[in-house]
Amino acid sequence: MNRIKSAVCLSLVLAGSVSARDLIDRPWKDDVIYFVMTDRFHDGDPENNRPSGSNPSLYDAAQKNMTLYHGGDFRGLENALLDGYFTDLGISAIWITPPVRNAWMSRHDLGGSKSGYHGYWAQDFLDIDPHLTSATNLAGKPYKAGREGRLQHYKDLIDLAHENNIKVVQDIVCNHIGPLFYYDLDGNGAHDGKTEEWMPAYKADGSYLETARWANEPQWNVGKPATPGLFQDFGIYWGKGFGFDSLGKTDGEEQRCDFFSLRAINTSPDTPHFDKLVNEFVEIYHFYIDELGVDGFRIDTVKHVHKAFWDAFSSRLRKRLGRDADKLILFGEVYGNSISDINYYAGNSTDQSRALDSLLNFQFTWAVRDVLRQETCGDANPLGRFIERMNTEVKTVGNYDAKEMRLNSVNFIGNHDGLNRFLVKGISEENHNLALAVLLTFEGIPCIYYGSELAVRDDQVDRNQQSETGRITLFDNRGARRFDMRNANPHFKMVSELIALRKQLPALVDGDITVFPLDGAGIEDGVLAYRRGSALVVLNAGDKSQHISFPAATLLYSNGLTAKSASVKKGAVPAKTLQVYRLR
């Protein structure tokens, strides 16, 4: 840790004393997470849109070009916190895209050149990207120039969130760095803009490392990593290039390949640098928790890293945290995960102690979409089968029991990658609201994709297309959407009511989930009831009102298009409705 501190030049005896985080004492299962792409949320400080030395053409002032920076930043998040936007919504944790100093452009990637506005192309793991930070704090006091000032701004954002009883989840990457070096295949000492020198064909035997050369493009922040030591050593990378089917393999190629033009780190336990690499990442990410106050990590590209790495990383990080380890959450992205992946990544292969706490639950996403994101919605079977599978397929691992694993599973209905927003062309706001209602009443930690609470629609694609076009700027610099629009937005009201209901009815947080048999309409009619302890949730996804009967219960919530309806009678479930009862 001394090397890390000296590298960061921390006189961050950062505002010292007791952190507001110490006053947030609740298990993660009680939280509702709001996932925000920082660059696409709100441009709170226009002065950082073109950092000194950067290529000015990488910023799109119109906030329309999906491949360029839109200007969202920490000040935009701070403004929302001060406005009470997140508090009024009721969320209790914000997950932000990686804030570390990034490569600002990739010369060649899938679909052509793109900027690194999203944060997943690390150039320096121990610095914050200047697109995100401001020259002064909220009180107008100047930050120190350089790395120290940028880290201080990040800490100030985290502290402000904690003062509002909101946790901060940082997105992290251990699989790759940004597009910082190329393969000099023709030996001329320059990349010459050649696609094959950025993304050569995957090489199963051998590597391209002997031709690797650090790029030198300061206007794009592309070149030798600023993080000193290990990451400047070509020997820790695979250097095998990329194949268009590499990422979907299951024979180890998915761990060895470059991630398009991003440079894959060799995380194999058989390498001489394995322990040093694990310890380096533990040092880095412990710093963000211990010094800056981050509460948890969402881990990117988990299946593209060796399982032994995650076992070692999680156990060593928890050991470093000591008694504070129980406050941490580590949830990973295993793109398209199966339910068995939850068990696999939760268990440490060495001693069966806890490794990752949970995964983003893609199976939940697809079950909800199979019911509510169809041309005709009239069969709730996919959700019923999903409940039964989670109850039978998630297993106790060591001292980490199956129920706790299910409660820590992070559920979502839309995201920033190919799955995109739930609300696209051809999908009704009714069904979008029902999907959010299921998300907020299901077993697991709900994660709301930014803008979903306002029913922001992506009109560029339909439900059958994989796309990243939903990475829309939410509160734009033209004032089309402002924080105060929440006051008249029925979707925001619905989400906030359901989050409040979770607090009113704790069974919606930690009650066991089971399919509840009904008399009357069946699951093929679009009606599904699931019990969460003393709570009963009844969903009618179909286009017709249905009549059902069940034991005596008190109706607590019923939504039609948007909000509560006092006229709904027990036993009658109108079309496109979700109801919540307390069983007597």
pLDDT at site 548: 82
- The Cα–Cα gap between 38 and 172 comes to 14
**HEC string for 31-49:** CCEEEECHHHCECCCHHHC
CATH architecture type of domain 2-11+25-178+267-362+408-506: Alpha-Beta Barrel (3.20)
pLDDT value, residue 568 = 42
Q: How far apart are CA 563 and CA 355, in angstroms?
A: 40
Which region among 240-244, 297-301, 492-496, 555-559 has the lowest average model confidence (pLDDT)?
A: 555-559
Which tokens go with 518? 């009904």
pTM of the model: 0.95
pLDDT exceeds cutoff 70 at 110: no
Which residue, among 525, 520, 374, has the nearest Cα to 435 in the 3D structure?
A: 374
Residue boundaries of the structural domains of the chain: 2-11+25-178+267-362+408-506, 182-214+234-256
Average the pLDDT over each of 54-63, 91-100, 376-385 and give the range with the smallest value.
376-385
The arithmetic mean of pLDDT across residues 179-186, rounded, is 95
> Mind listing the pLDDT tens digit for each residue in 149-163?
999 999 999 999 999
pLDDT at residue 112, as a whole number: 67
Q: Is 457 exposed, middle or buried (0-12, 13-18, 19+ CB in 10 A)?
A: middle
- Both tokens of 162, joined, read 């904690």
Exposure string of 227-264, with b = 16+ CB inside 10 Å and e = fewer, is: beebbeeeebbbbbbbbeebbeeeeebbbbbbbbbbbb
- The pair of structure tokens assigned to 168 is 């901060």
191 touches 223 (CB < 8 A)? no
pLDDT digit string (tens) for 541-553? Answer: 998 888 888 778 8
